[in-house]
Amino acid sequence: MIKTLYYYYYLFYKKILRDNESHLLATLVLAFSFSLLLIMTINISMAYFFSKALGYYEMIGINVLMIFILYLTLHRTGKAIKIVKEKPMFFKNHVLSILITFLFFAATSSYLFWGSICVGNILGTR
């Protein structure tokens, strides 16, 4: 799944935005998407089970940690170039892969908008 998401993020930055650092941007955006997914899971779980929420510094720390991990595993090792050469897809379907990648990005990014409302409702502060 990560390989396919990386590949389609890379294609977006290479073909659509025509950026000259497509590999690095794809790594950063994939790390950001996964950090938002992780933050969402931790924050909602903590609010529901422990009546606490993550602070800003914890969220930033998770984001920086995910960027660092994916940078080291994908970009620094050269694995990103191998992924682009493989051209992975979901179910061997280009259109479906684009749709799943877009929905993943939209779903994780939407947490920026509804996350505080959801956690606030769980904690009773809204």
Residue-wise pLDDT for 107-126, tens only, equals 999 988 888 888 888 888 76
Give kind and range of the element (H or E) at residue 115.
Answer: helix 94-123
Give the count of alpha carbons within 13 A of 88, CB side only: 16
pLDDT of residue 126: 65
Per-residue pLDDT tens over the stretch 18-28 = 777 777 888 88
- For residue 35, pLDDT over 90 is answered with yes
Q: What is the dihedral of CA 46, 50, 52, 57, to 10 degrees?
A: -50
pLDDT of residue 120: 87
Mean of pLDDT over the chain: 88
pLDDT of residue 117: 86
pLDDT of residue 64: 94
Name the pTM for this structure: 0.84
Contact yes or no for 35/66 (Cβ under 8 A): yes
